[in-house]
Amino acid sequence: MPELTYHGHATFGLTTEEGIRIVIDPWFDENPLSDLRVEDFDALDYVLCTHGHPDHFADAVPLTKRTGATLVSSFEIVEFAETRGVPGDRLHPLSIGGGHRFPFGYAKMTPALHGTRVHGSEGRVDAMPGGFWLALDGGRLYHAGDTALITDMQLLRGRVDVALLPIGDNFTMGPEDAARAVEFIEPDLVIPMHYDTFDLIRQDPDEFRELVGETARVRILSPGESHRF
């Protein structure tokens, strides 16, 4: 069974049945909720990044450089990472709606309605934000990234076993819209994310659980806690 581990905010670790190690939206060193730091990683195979905001991208380049992992993200972010010294053979660009069969499974970038800038010391570039839909041996995972509620989520109905949805409000969906997203997607299980990291996005995840009701199971993970699916 794939094992998913929450590291706070939108950062997750994922180990597949085959033992391939993935991190989604790496934000460790400055993440107030994280149980890990970049220096805790020695071996890693893939880094997936939904968009270029620092709370999703900040440790993508350091982690990729440290571990030799391959960075999978939008074309623009991958191109930006190359200017920061990640070798081209460890970069895999995707665009929204496009996917690729990787050794760990099929990964597709999904639409997200959100901001577009990647900031870095060499300036900034525009990069479409997205999410990831992963078809792994053992289950299908959807990491929504940072997004508003969008009707496109209805296209995922019946195709998601575990959904990772932001509930923090202010920068993303809040609990009510996230509960509507659950109605759109009908996953087996939802794990709320992108909340409680700082004051603007304080939420009670139990309230989200109540709003979801019988539509799906809700599992609230603490940083460092894992879920097998």
Query: Which position among 7, 9, 21, 53 is part of the footprint of Ni ion (CB under 5 A)?
Result: 53
Q: Nearest distance from residue 146's CB to Ni ion, in Å? A: 4
Alpha-carbon distance of 125 to 7, in angstroms, equals 27
- What is residue 112's three-state secondary structure? coil
Nearer to Mn ion, 55 or 59 (CB): 55
> Judged by CB under 5 A, does residue 7 bind Ni ion?
no
| Residue 10 beta carbon to Mn ion: minimum distance, rounded to whole angstroms | 6
Q: How far is the CB of 149 from Ni ion (least distance, A)?
A: 15
Query: In this structure, are residues 159 and 184 in contact, taking their beta carbons and an 8 Å threshold?
Result: no
Q: Among candidates 84, 34, 59, 55, which has minimal Cα distance to 145?
A: 55
Contacting positions for Mn ion (CB under 5 A): 55, 146
CB of 54 or CB of 98, closer to Mn ion: 54
Per CB under 5 A, does 146 bind Ni ion?
A: yes
Closer CB to Ni ion, 48 or 135, in the complex = 48
Q: How far apart are the first and last CA of the chain?
A: 6
SS3 12: strand
Nearer to Ni ion, 202 or 228 (CB): 202
Closest C-alpha to 177, from 198, 200, 160, 153: 153
